[in-house]
Chain A
Amino acid sequence: MKQEILTVKSNIALASDVYKMTLGECEKPIPGQFVEIAVDGFTLRRPFCVYDYDGKNMTVLYKVLGEGTKAMSKMQSGQKADVLTGLGNGFDIEKSSKPLLIGGGLGAAPLLYLAKCFREKGIEPVLFLGAKTASELCFLSDFKDFKVYTSTDDGSEGFKGTIVDGLKNLSLDFDRFYACGSVNMLKSLPSFSDRGYISMEARMACGFGACMGCSIHTASGTKRVCKDGPIFDVKEVIFD
């Protein structure tokens, strides 16, 4: 965990409501960790996964949802940003030699850097990225160097149907999955496999374990998504 004043290197739109912001220079994160960006005029920091890291700069992939992310989308290159970095536990890449990475919509965000970290170790991951419709996969070209399967609910890209149906349809060879996406998508994963890790989300105040704002129930008791997570064994999480 560290507070860093970073410089916005670029902030570009991939679609009308999806942006990529590169910030630097910062320390090397663990894949699956997140950062909290202070946005001028807003009390609480906004949490985002690390989408990419090039050795110097970090990128976040974000959707414009409310007022805070709207203000972020207007930030200009050269502007300074107050960021808490290195938050959360991150994915454990030692746990797998045949990883399957599963992203639902913007849940693909932590998977690009994770895929790169696996490749760095000499392991080729397989990815499965699903969404409601093709336009929600506006970031797909960033993954072009990897083996990627896709699905959409409306069939506009890849398999037509849910992520779990798409996965069942493929019978891929993997030893662990690493997933991120909506709660509903994560909840449906155990019907596909219980050998894997999921990245959880919660509304946060601090993001570093102090306020108990983000606590969830798990098989081993109450855990804070921001500090004990956001990555949990899928078998541990008790969904409400």
Chain B
Amino acid sequence: MKIIVSVKQVPVRDSLLRINGEGTWLDESDLSYEMNEPDAYALEEALQLKEKLGGEVVVICAGPQRVSQTIREALAKGADRAIHVQAEDLGPRDALTTAALLAAVLKAELPDMILTGLQSDDLGYGQTGVILAELLGYAHATIVMEVEPQGNTIRVKRELEDGWFQNVILPLPAVLTVQSGIKKLRYATLMGIKKAKTKEVKTVSASDLVPDTAPSALMERIYLPAHAKHTQILSGDPKDVARQLVEKLRFEARVL
């Protein structure tokens, strides 16, 4: 089983987000980055499938030089090799533009499966996997909670709304977008970190690729959301806040 895992690098959770001078994207100067969490779950699922069935796990990640740290992490956890699609300006791009770059590289890989997280924690498009499936001509399923290989097909458990689930059988090759929590995440071992240094990372420059699409949406401006603020914000030292809150809940909201 050859499995590609498409991962994204995103700003560390709870980063202080500052908008750049033009209001078009983040000021990236003092941000730190990490692997998008749903993609970490996709990687985990891929590694466990490989442990069960044998084969190869290949990680692909698009972005500037800094994403090599995320690629190293994936290799340290057990991916066999990686492809870095080098591109400087992907930050605010639409999902189709970035996915088309990935597809242009992946069409030569002929995997059995492509796994990716169901959405990214930064832009939250939730589209990359589905677009890849369409561009590569593969079947797909989204919001996947379980994967059961069955020869030339796989049976996956999809999460639906309101506590419903559904099993779906798909022919291979297929793209799956993985829901967080599908398996328990592993940590990279010291041994894994050492080994990662010897694994192959192929670099492809986005400018050498010819994706079959042009950008069709533009993020014109980013800003802090306007506050509707009917919220009463309580501040002060913790004891004082607690006292005010209990008073409000008892005598104003009358819920205590």
Chains A and B bind each other: no
Residues of A within 8 A of B (CB): none
